[in-house]
A and B are shown apart, each in its own frame.
Chain A
């Protein structure tokens, strides 16, 4: 296995506050890598750096061996990195179907010149719709295609968000707290779903999670951030017994 994503010495500061200090980590291909840490430790900031929303003050981000820091978020998505947000951000007034139909990249009908010429994009559109239908029946959401995304339940919204990247053909999917705000059993189901997709489609996941009990059952490798610095890494059972980690979480 080789590293699909590599973060090397990334630092970023906002008005003098250093949110990330010299962070280096690797996400191996085909793994489910976890990222944990107390609130405000810089986990979401790291995701924003990887997906191009923030530019790092120093350091590099490599994806499949190519530098991606400095690219725009849409270019990074085109390269095969998809993400979700801590608070789900579906396109609320659009239907579930429309939401999912947006995910595949490089659609011909999305160009202003070709959009009025239906013949040029109809075949592609039907093919995408068939893929969406398969995926929706796999996650048990087929009946919701007409419903505006803002009317979906919390669990279904999470499912919708995690499905988007798969349709876009992403190799690496960053999930920012996939189980926040859903009950324990649903949280487990979301992780089981993620795990089965990972094995079937050979995807790689990098997951921020506060539900450490669930995460540790599924993750291959875990990084721990505290005050913008990596304080520990290793297999879940190693990290769980690390005194530094326990101290950061409990304080003192």
Chain B
């Protein structure tokens, strides 16, 4: 029997993870115009840091001396991962923080030499960095090479009911997503957001208006890459395993699709894009699970559909479902002038409009 509720939970978890990524990419490409074609690299860094940190924490605290990628370690993790809730949660928090710091630092460093070149070169540099990292990780023994790491402890592994466990994880993911969404909204609806957009429009003109463009870009890349690393961390806590081949370039372009279809430079758009693409992802794997004997696997059609959707969006709605809006700081109020008639009906309408605007970004 098909489990609708389980489907919803797995979709929402995946949506949460992808939405964090698309919000990060939206800050980079939508606001600042930095073509990050290597987003998946930061996802991967966060994922491997998480695998390494969480398994090492468990094994060393319980006094095991196995290498973290060995079969013994996987078996040991199966025995100990559900015993101590406090350890699970602290491994979760520590992994999130370290993933943020390591991904952010690498994002800051890897892009530093390329900040002065044009957007195409920045894109190609990060793209090849991501691919090189993936191939490197395939041969890097301390994290298990091509097989990667297994037995990453779910933060809620101590909850006996598997359905409740995945619901708790889903709620945690969505809470982190909400935090990231609010943070980015506050960050961009400000003079800082204006600076980011001015860099996207014309780097030299922005520089000649006193904006320290290279520093602004490097700092934004630190934050956005760091938060992408948190998404990677959540991804491996969800799947319980990590291997280099999870981080192929196609994942980057799926997130690009979310931002393009949703609307560049609009946070709500990035969320809606993530809803669409994660739904497509889950539906295609549900279909291949429900109808195993099909002529072709829906999962492969999905990759084709991603391309078709991006092309269609660029042709028929190039600004996305939710186009970009001007940054409305309080400066607008000074220009709008005081409202003349403020009857009850109008005020109610205003409240409704405002809450709709708040909800839709």
Contacts and interface: CB of A to CB of B under 8 A. Distances in A.
Nearest to A94: B197
Interface in A116-153: 116, 118, 121-122, 125-126, 128-130, 132-133, 142, 145-146
Contacts of A93: 197, 201, 324
Contacts of B326: 94-95, 97-98, 146
27 contacts: A72-B207, A74-B208, A74-B211, A82-B208, A89-B205, A91-B201, A93-B201, A93-B324, A94-B194, A94-B201, A95-B326, A97-B326, A97-B335, A98-B326, A101-B194, A101-B329, A109-B190, A109-B192, A111-B192, A112-B220, A112-B223, A115-B186, A126-B334, A129-B330, A129-B334, A133-B334, A168-B210
A125 B195 CA distance: 14
A102 B211 CA distance: 9
B55 to A, nearest CB: 33
Contact of B191 (A53, A83, A109, A142): A109
Interface string B180-212: 000100110011111101100110111111111
A221 interface: no
Contact of B209 (A95, A118, A164): A164
Contacts of B329: 101, 109, 125
A82 B211 CA distance: 12
A145 B220 CA distance: 28
B192 A110 contact: yes
B192 A98 contact: no
A86 to B, nearest CB: 12
A77 B204 CA distance: 12
Interface of A: 51, 53, 72-74, 77-78, 82-83, 85, 89-95, 97-98, 101-103, 105-112, 115-116, 118, 121-122, 125-126, 128-130, 132-133, 142, 145-146, 164, 168
B335 A145 contact: yes
A5 to B, nearest CB: 16
Closest 6 CB pairs of A and B: A109-B191, A115-B192, A77-B210, A129-B331, A91-B201, A116-B186
Interface of B: 183, 186-187, 190-195, 197-198, 201-202, 204-213, 216, 219-220, 223, 324, 326-327, 329-332, 334-335
Query: Secondary structure at chain B's binding surface: helix, strand, loop or mixed?
Result: helix
Contacts of A168: 209-210
Most buried by A among B187, B191, B192: B191
A116 B190 contact: yes
B180 to A, nearest CB: 12
Nearest to B202: A89
A17 to B, nearest CB: 22
Given A102-B194, A105-B210, A115-B193, 20 more contacts: A53-B204, A73-B204, A74-B213, A89-B205, A93-B201, A94-B198, A97-B331, A101-B191, A102-B206, A107-B191, A112-B192, A112-B223, A115-B187, A115-B191, A121-B191, A126-B330, A126-B331, A129-B335, A132-B331, A168-B210
